[in-house]
Amino acid sequence: KNILKKLPNLRLIQKVGAGVENMLSNSNMPKHIKICRMSSEMQAKEMAEYCLAEVLAYQRNIREYFNNQSLKMWKQRQPLIVKDKSVSILGLGLIGMEIAQILQNFGFTVFGWSRTVKPQLNFKNYSGINGLIAVVSKADYVISVLPETNETKNLLSLSILRKFKPGSVLINVGRGSVINEEGLIKVLSEGILGGATLDVFQQEPLPRKHPYWILPNVTVTPHIAADTPVESSSKVLASNIKDLIEGKLPNGVVDLNKGY
C-alpha cells in the first residue's frame, strides 16, 4: 500500500486479471490514477470452457463414474437431457456473456442476472433482489461470475441459497466473497443443492482443514478457471498505454463507485 508514495508519476495500474478489490481498498489511491481490469476475449473463452466442462460433467455423471472406478463398480446411469435443463448466470459482463453464449449454443435454456436489466439480450435477464430469487429458483445450474463489491459481498446468503431449485448446482468462478460459506455448507448437507463447483474462495489457498475439501458433493479447483495468457494480456496492456498517451479512455477502466 505504501508503494504509491514512491511513484509520483503513476497514471495507470493494469491488473493482469479481473478482480481489483484489493486495490480499491487502498485509501492512499489517488483519484487520478486509472485502474484497469484485464478484459480479454481469450480469458472469457477460457472461463466459458471451464463452465461448460463442469456443467457437462454433472450432465453425464462423470464424477460418479470416476468414483465407481476406484470401487470396481459397474453401474450405468441415464445422462441428463440438455434441452430440459436451464442455466442462470450471475454477472453479464464480457465473461458472463461469453458463458451465456456457449451454453445457449450448446442447447441449454439461459437466464441472466446483473446490476441492471439488459433489454437487448436474446435471453431473459433480471436485476434486483427479486430478480435474483427468480433466476436461482428456476435454474438447474447457477453460475456466478460476479466481482467483489460492497453490493455483492454475501449476496448468496443462506436465505438466498435456500431459494435455489432443489437438486441444482452452484458454480462459482467470480469471487469467493459472494457466497456465505457456512450457508452453502448447510444447504449442501441438507440436500437443497445437489452440488457445487468452486474455483474461488474467501481465503486462498483454501485452508487444508476447510470442509469443502471433504464434502462429497463439492468440487474444488485452485482458481484456475482462466489463465491470463501473455499473448492476449500484453496486447491489452499495450493498447491501454497507447490510449492513455493519446488521451483516450483505456479498456477495462474500473468505476470506483461500482467497484468494477
Catalytic residues: 175, 223
Give the residue among 152, 153, 126, 122 at the shortest CA–CA distance from 137: 126
3-state secondary structure of 6: helix
Are 138 and 161 spatial neighbours (Cβ–Cβ below 8 Å)? no
Q: How many C-beta atoms surround the C-beta of residue 25 within 10 A?
A: 11
Amino acid identity of residue 129, one-letter, is: I
Residue 149: C-alpha distances to residues 7, 10, 11 (Å)? 27, 25, 23
- DSSP letters, 117-135, are --TTSSS-EE-HHHHHHHH
Q: Give dist(CA 95, CA 241) in Å, integer.
A: 23
Give the residue among 22, 20, 50, 11 at the shortest CA–CA distance from 38: 20
- DSSP letters, 139-189, are -SEEEE-PPP-TTTTT-B-HHHHTTSPTTEEEEE-S-GGGB-HHHHHHHHH
Are 108 and 87 spatial neighbours (Cβ–Cβ below 8 Å)? yes
Count CA atoms closer than 13 A to 137's CA, side-chain side.
11
